[in-house]
């Protein structure tokens, strides 16, 4: 048995097809470079061929929506990026490097830059660069992609599943996917979940050294376990797990059209977090109560120029149209920190997480903010939109933001453009200072949304991606629990609803906390919605309040977790 990380649920047992793709840099020793003119011509031809291949994949795909295929627009953008183009030309023409060497050096440089970023979405862009680099390498060498089987079902095994490879898979043929690299938040993982293909990543690399096409693999995407050439006993075990999983899926599917209501009648609305339009399909499938957080900054990333008002307006309208009549909360650009956009004037900073990011950036660039607000307001005429300000730390920021919002509303009225005059305005609770000025903020806004990731990071002064202080970052720290209590109590006293949109929103362990604090909405990755709903329906608000009173008396994060683990056993028994 090999352990990995299950990123798409499901069980499968079948023969493996092992894909060993060309890897950038592996063939340089065997490559005989010519003169710089010939090398540059080879590189240009490889780029032209890569563009043709990407367009062909996009045109011939039968299973992914146009929104899910947007990644290939990003790949074409990378190929046409002037910065990458100039770097390649410099290496080949001036430094006399081979086409292969230039591709390896430039792609590796940008790949490493992305891999160092904290934001998972941005780290995943390194995979896109590897995908482009491998495609260019293959085309420089004149190699063709290995053909995938089309005559019988199989389980795909590869070192890494690239977005372009994923787009070529037939979900009726591919029964599961196993890879030694990968991540839960990658485009590939999201698409695998959307297509219902079991997927296990980060499997022990020893499997890669022994597996051959035709070997049998048994894959458990729920637990992240893979068996290579399983014996009869292991096969029976996987068959039993498959039956169990089918029963569990049926049970969860029956919850799609019921409310997330505790046993004693407390209702929490469960909404979806969305970064890209293609994630909407899962939200619709799981019958999300709306979109609790649309991260609009991802519209600006990987682009040479910022999206104009019409493009933004079209996206915001699509969000509303996908979930008709349901609320959609759009957060204005939360750029900076570890999120970069070539099309935006972000300064180089020594400590960007404490620098010009989010609302600070928007207020410093009011023209960009006005364009976004116009698009959001225009879309608000077509459904229940909410507007959310990121990384607020002072009342002055809210007042300045509202002044610009009022001016944009005046412009639209003058132009006789329809919009929701009463569009709700909210504040992200990410900076601890907000907890201490809740009364002042409550008089200016309509709701609050707690971003637990950044709140815990700023509260504990610990970068959660820094391995040296990762042990310090703990959202169950007593100070964090007490701060959440202050925020929710102040919001309740001023009649303002509170939602949670950070990772803790989908953590089953934290659910009694949100029920006890009177949180109105939880927003999360859509794939978690039904499991969270199942747990909420087994809770009792009175019990949750009692648990919370005990949490306030705990002195360490470990004590808090242990208390919640004990409570978890009680509601798990009710689910059975």
**187 carries an active-site annotation:** yes
298-301-304 Cα angle (round to 5): 145
Active-site residue (options: 101, 340, 477, 501): 501
Name the helix (H) or strand (E) containing 292.
strand 291-295
245: left (phi over 0), alpha (psi -120 to 50) or beta: alpha
Edge-to-edge strands of the sheet including 2-3?
Answer: 2-3, 225-228, 216-220, 11-19, 154-158, 174-179, 199-201, 5-8
Whole-angstrom distance, CA of residue 269 vs CA of residue 19: 43
């563009």: which residue's tokens?
51
Q: Which two tokens stand for residue 276?
A: 């890209």
Beta strand 2-3 pairing with 174-179? unpaired
Q: Where are the beta strands (DSSP E) in 113-264?
A: 154-158, 174-179, 199-201, 216-220, 225-228
| 535 contacts 571 by C-beta, under 8 angstroms | yes
Per-position DSSP letters for 58-81, written without gaps between them:
HHH-SSS-TTGGGHHHHHHHHHT-
In the beta sheet, which residues pair with residue 426? 388, 447
Which residues are bridge partners to 157 per DSSP?
Answer: 18, 178
Cβ contacts of 576 within 8 Å, gap of 6 or more? none
Catalytic residue among 187, 340, 477, 528: 187
195 by DSSP, 3-state: which? helix
**The two three-digit tokens of residue 340, written as one number:** 């970069």
Q: Is 343 annotated in the active site?
A: no
Contact in structure between 297 and 358 (CB atoms under 8 Å): no
Residue 201's DSSP bridge partners are: 5
Q: Report d(CA 338, CA 344) in Å as an integer.
A: 14
Both tokens assigned to 138: 């293959």
The answer for residues whose C-beta is within 8 angstroms of residue 397's C-beta and 6 or more apart is: 359, 360, 363, 389
Beta bridge partners of 491: none
User: Can you tell me the distance from the alpha carbon of 472 to that of 456, in angstroms, rounded to the nearest whole number?
Assistant: 10
Q: Could you tell me if 362 and 326 are in contact, meaning their C-beta atoms sit under 8 angstroms apart?
A: no
Measured N-to-C along each axis, helices 71-79 and 125-141 cross at an angle, to the nearest 10 degrees, of: 60
Burial class (CB in 10 A: 0-12, 13-18, 19+), 52: exposed
CB of 186 within 8 A of CB of 23? no
The helix (H) or strand (E) run that includes residue 323 is none
Distance CA 307, CA 301 (A): 10
Helix (H, G, I), strand (E, B) or coil at 273: strand
Please name the residue ranges forming H helices in 293-420. Answer: 309-322, 359-364, 366-379, 395-414
- The residues annotated as belonging to the active site are 187, 501
């Amino acid at each position: 048995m090999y352990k990995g990380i299950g990123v798409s649920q499901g069980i499968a047992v079948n023969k493996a097809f092992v894909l060993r793709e060309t890897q950038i840099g592996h063939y340089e020793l065997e490559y005989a470079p010519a003169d710089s003119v010939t090398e540059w011509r080879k590189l240009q031809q490889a780029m032209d061929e890569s563009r043709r291949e990407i367009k062909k994949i996009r045109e011939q795909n039968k299973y992914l929506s146009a929104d899910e295929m947007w990644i290939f627009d990003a790949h074409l953008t990378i190929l046409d990026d002037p910065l990458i183009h100039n770097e390649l030309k410099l290496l080949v023409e001036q430094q006399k490097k081979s086409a292969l060497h230039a591709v390896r050096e430039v792609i590796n440089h940008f790949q490493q830059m992305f891999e160092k970023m904290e934001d998972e979405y941005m780290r995943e862009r390194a995979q896109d660069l590897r995908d482009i680099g491998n495609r260019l390498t293959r085309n420089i060498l004149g190699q063709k992609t290995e053909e995938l089987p089309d005559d019988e079902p199989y389980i795909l095994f590869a070192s890494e599943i690239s977005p372009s490879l994923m787009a070529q898979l037939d979900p009726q043929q591919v029964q599961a996917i196993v890879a030694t690299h990968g991540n839960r938040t990658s485009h590939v993982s999201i698409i695998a979940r959307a297509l219902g293909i079991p997927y296990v990543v980060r499997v022990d690399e020893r499997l890669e050294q022994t597996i051959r096409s035709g070997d049998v693999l048994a894959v458990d995407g729920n637990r992240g376990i893979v068996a290579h050439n399983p014996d009869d006993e292991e096969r029976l075990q996987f068959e039993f797990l498959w039956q169990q999983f089918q029963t569990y899926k049926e049970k969860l599917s029956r919850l799609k059209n019921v409310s997330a209501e505790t046993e004693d009648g407390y209702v929490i609305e469960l909404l979806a977090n969305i970064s890209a339009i293609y994630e909407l399909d899962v939200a619709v499938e799981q019958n999300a109560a709306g979109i609790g957080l649309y991260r609009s900054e991802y519209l600006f990333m990987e682009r040479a120029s910022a999206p104009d008002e019409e493009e933004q307006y079209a996206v915001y309208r699509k969000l509303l149209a996908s979930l008709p009549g349901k609320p959609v909360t759009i957060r204005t650009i939360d750029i900076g920190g570890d999120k970069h956009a070539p099309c935006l004037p972000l300064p180089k900073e020594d400590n960007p997480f404490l620098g010009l990011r989010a609302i600070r950036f928007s207020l410093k660039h009011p023209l960009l903010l006005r364009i976004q607000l116009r698009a959001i307001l225009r879309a608000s005429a077509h459904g229940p939109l909410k507007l959310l300000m990121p990384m607020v730390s002072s009342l002055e920021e809210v007042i300045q933001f509202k002044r610009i919002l009022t001016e944009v509303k005046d412009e639209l009225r003058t132009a006789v453009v329809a919009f929701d005059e009463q569009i709700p305005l909210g504040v992200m609770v990410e900076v601890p200072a907000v907890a201490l000025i809740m009364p002042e903020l409550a008089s200016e806004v309509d709701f609050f949304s707690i971003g637990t990731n950044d709140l815990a990071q700023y509260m504990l002064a610990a970068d959660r991606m820094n391995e040296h202080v990762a042990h310090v970052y703990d959202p169950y720290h007593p100070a964090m629990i007490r701060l959440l209590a202050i925020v929710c109590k102040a919001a309740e006293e001023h009649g303002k609803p509170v939602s949670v949109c950070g990772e803790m929103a989908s953590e089953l362990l934290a659910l009694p906390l949100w029920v006890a604090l009177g949180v109105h909405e939880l927003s999360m990755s859509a794939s978690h919605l039904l499991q969270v709903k199942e747990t909420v329906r087994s809770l009792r608000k009175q019990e949750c309040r009692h648990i919370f009173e005990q949490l306030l008396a705990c002195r360490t994060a470990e004590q808090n977790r242990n208390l919640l683990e004990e409570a978890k056993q009680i509601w798990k028994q009710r689910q059975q």
